[in-house]
């Protein structure tokens, strides 16, 4: 079995920015153990496997250590590959996933994801988050991820978390956020329990960040910067039960994974 393979920098205006994702195109689902081995070999925060199912697509995502329920940047990368390389000119793509049907549409140079909104609720975890992050937390919230609001953009830049304490908080990851100086807000994301010490740009985090900052700023169209070492710009919009998450992508490489030896 051979899998077409693409490496795409998602939420990137040019190469070597944003979040690199692997996209593997399957004719049938490989064994989960094989997909996990490929994801570990890639050693990226996410590897997406996509499969044509009638008129639409199905998608699964794996970190180097586990399968996850949702991933934004690898979905954006997958939609970019379909639109530009597999089905040139496809303006919209629909993915069946463990988190329901996820949409993607092409808007100029950007891919805009249609994801579920996951508004956060206040949480009594400010001290625990502060200890794990080594930072003073202004307010604590929780949805699928923990959310820690800090006082400033510089405070977000300076966060140096304790991976063990972050992993012990009991959620897949922790979002750290504050109001931005050149964008509406900034953020970082840490998920050591999923094998991702810091994710460069985390599309799924904006399922929570978009409603959080829409409420704070009383605006539904928002701009953001994720302050990882690679960095990435994200455009997002809050639509009640859904969020739009938009960004550009750049192809780094393409090839084929030859699984003959694995089969043998």
How far apart are the C-alpha atoms of 46 and 28, rounded to whole Å?
A: 20
> Across the strands, what pairs with 185?
179, 224
Residue ranges of alpha helices (H) inside the chain are 32-42, 72-81, 126-133, 153-158, 163-167, 206-217, 260-263
Residue 147 φ/ψ, nearest 5 degrees: -130, 120
Residue 85 φ/ψ, nearest 5 degrees: -125, -35
- Going 254 to 260 to 261 to 263, the CA torsion angle's sign is positive
41 is annotated as an active-site residue = no
The H or E element containing residue 130 is: helix 126-133
Displacement of CA 71 from its chain's centroid (Å): 4
Active-site hit among 46, 149, 153, 198: 46
How far apart are the C-alpha atoms of 176 and 194, rounded to whole Å?
A: 17
Q: Are 7 and 252 in contact (CB under 8 A)?
A: yes
How far apart are the C-alpha atoms of 184 and 233, rounded to whole Å?
A: 11
Displacement of CA 222 from its chain's centroid (Å): 17
How far apart are the C-alpha atoms of 161 and 153, rounded to whole Å?
A: 16
* Token couple for 162: 């304790």
Beta strands at 146-149 and 174-179: parallel, antiparallel or unpaired: parallel
Where in the sequence numbering do the catalytic residues fall?
A: 46
């Amino acid at each position: 079995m051979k899998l077409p393979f693409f490496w795409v920098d998602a939420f990137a205006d040019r190469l070597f920015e944003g979040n690199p994702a692997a996209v593997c195109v399957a004719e049938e689902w490989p064994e989960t153990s094989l997909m996990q081995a490929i994801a570990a070999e890639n050693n990226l925060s996410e590897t997406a496997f996509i499969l044509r199912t009638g008129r639409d697509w199905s998608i699964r995502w794996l970190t180097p250590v586990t399968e996850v329920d949702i991933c934004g940047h690898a979905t954006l990368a997958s939609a970019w590959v379909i639109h530009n390389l597999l089905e040139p000119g496809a303006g919209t793509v629909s993915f069946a996933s463990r988190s329901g049907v996820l949409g993607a549409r092409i808007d100029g140079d950007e891919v805009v994801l249609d994801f579920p909104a996951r508004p956060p609720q206040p949480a009594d975890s400010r001290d625990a988050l502060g200890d794990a992050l080594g930072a003073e937390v202004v307010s604590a919230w929780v949805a699928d991820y923990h959310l820690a609001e800090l006082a400033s953009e510089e405070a977000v830049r300076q966060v140096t978390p304790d991976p063990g304490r972050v992993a012990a908080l009991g959620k897949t990851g922790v979002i750290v956020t504050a109001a931005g100086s050149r964008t509406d807000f900034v953020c970082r994301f840490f998920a050591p329990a999923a094998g991702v010490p810091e994710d460069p740009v985390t599309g799924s985090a904006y399922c929570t960040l978009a409603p959080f900052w829409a409420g704070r700023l009383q605006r539904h169209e928002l701009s953001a910067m994720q302050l990882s070492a690679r960095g990435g710009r994200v455009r997002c919009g809050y639509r009640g039960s859904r969020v739009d998450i938009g960004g550009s992508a750049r192809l780094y490489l393409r090839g084929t994974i030859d699984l003959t030896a694995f089969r043998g």
